[in-house]
Amino acid sequence: MLFKKSILKAVILGICLISIGCQEKSNSKTRIKLITLDPGHFHAALIQKSMYPEIDPEVSIYAPEGQDLELYLQKIEAYNTREEKPTKWTTKINSEPDYLKKMIAEKNGNVIMLSGNNQKKTDYILTAIENGFNVYSDKPMVISPEEYPTLKKAFKLAQEKNLVIYDIMTERSEITTELQKELAHNSEVFGKLILGSEEEPAITKESVHHFFKYVSGQPLIRSSWFFDTKQQGEGIADVTSHLVDLTFWECFPNEAINLEDIQLDHAKRWPTIISKESFEKVTQKKEYPSYLKNEIRNDSLEIYANGSIHYRLKGHYAKVSVKWSYQAEKGGGDTHYSIMRGTKAELIIEQGVEQKFIPTLYVFPLKNFNEKLFLKSIDDLQTKYPDISVLKENERFEIIIPEDLREGHEAHFGEVTKRFINYFKLGKVPEWETTNMLTKYYLTTSALEMARKKSRLLFIESD
């Protein structure tokens, strides 16, 4: 009897050891070893504002020496030493002149994280894929029509090599946008998305940004190259990538948007003027670098940071636009405006003075709107979004959102990273995501080309 028990214990122990071994083997396949390549934008650090069980706490950094690297490391150190929920990242830094070759040779990770100089980004993506790395990239992945074929080549190669490429679309995690999308696909409340017109598009997205802002409670210091559109990209090819993504995702969720599904109608661009004093405050540099000499007008910078795109999405008129100013008014910050027009209601997100600069979702009833069905839909949504409610104000309804559902822009980076982790575990990104990334960047870069041609024509006509 004792002999049989001993055998049974041995068998159980063996099963446990095999199970542990299998689990460790499985974990090794799904564990992310992060490499941060040439960080130059604060979004690179925001990815590491949280810890993730699936990501190794040691991060290898390959970057040239300079302000960009120093600012990134300062933010990581601030997260590691904060009082509330400090992170535990460790860093392994290679800042030699041939840092890119070293990264490829050493292979200290399996995922390249990109958030920096956008002029280099498309080539970085292709280089990473060619050398067997997955890519987790901040937007935009490409800033000019000339570079778009390089991005397309990278995606094709990634598919052949079973590698993941994914961009960081944080705005999908904004609670008002999520609820706008939910209601837009409730036919009893919204009806159907109208086709709209150029004057009144079916969907409009407008985003206002500021060069001077606070991030994680500290004034943001930007690199001088951020003001060079050849390196950062024009607004029409940068921030609009978020807005175009939202039009795809909200109107046709989990559905591939192919090139034949869009029609670019027209696009335009215009500059933001930044004084030398403002430039110094944001960059902590007293003089303009030489690469900005062609952007200087009367000792101020003229930056093509603003733009708008009119296009049709599966026949529905759409418009996205981005505006940049130096600094928000007191109490304000970056803002978002959005409208989706249905046959029964219009869903509008506003974030102005009236809303105390807090994103707020309104429902404007139209003909055939059923208030009882609308209120029931809000009750039904509470299983997914606890404690949301409705306040009726004259001809509109405000969706009341509790504070614990308002995570804020910085927290959204953690949400997107969780999506990426899931795709990494699966070993692929859904086909609709990949198709939409390529279509999105084709649209933004084509719009930039159209806007530039229009600008040149206006200059010739006024000359």
pLDDT value at position 8? 35
Residues recorded for the chain: 463
Contacts of 449 (CB under 8 A, 6+ apart): 145
pLDDT value at position 311? 98
pLDDT value at position 29? 56
pLDDT value at position 408? 82
Q: Do domains 31-167 and 171-419+444-450 have the same CATH topology?
A: no
In which element (H, E) is residue 206 found? Answer: strand 203-212
Which residues of the chain fall below pLDDT 70? 1-30, 456-463
Contacts of 165 (CB under 8 A, 6+ apart): 125, 129, 134, 135, 137, 154, 155, 158, 429, 434, 437
357-374 burial by CB neighbour count: b if 16+ within 10 A, else e?
Answer: bebbbbbebeeebeeeeb
Domain ranges in the chain are 1-30, 31-167, 171-419+444-450
What amino acid occupies position 1? M
What amino acid occupies position 192? K
ω before 86 within 30° of 0 (cis)? no
β-strand pairing of 316-327 with 396-400: unpaired
What is the rounded CA–CA span in Å between residue 163 and residue 427? 7
CB 381 within 8 Å of CB 182: yes
What is the rounded CA–CA span in Å between residue 324 and residue 302? 12
CB 44 within 8 Å of CB 115: yes
pLDDT value at position 1? 40
Please give the model's pTM, rounded to 2 decimal places.
0.90
What is the rounded CA–CA span in Å between residue 231 and residue 121? 10
Contacts of 104 (CB under 8 A, 6+ apart): 127, 131
What is the rounded CA–CA span in Å between residue 443 and residue 142? 11
**Residue pointed to by tokens 């104000």:** 393
pLDDT value at position 14? 39
CB 383 within 8 Å of CB 404: no
Domain 31-167 homologous superfamily, CATH? NAD(P)-binding Rossmann-like Domain (3.40.50.720)
pLDDT value at position 17? 36
Q: Which CATH number fits domain 171-419+444-450: 3.30.429.10, 3.90.1110.10, 3.40.50.300, 3.30.360.10?
A: 3.30.360.10
Q: Where are the beta strands (DSSP E) in 90-200?
A: 90-94, 111-114, 134-137, 165-167
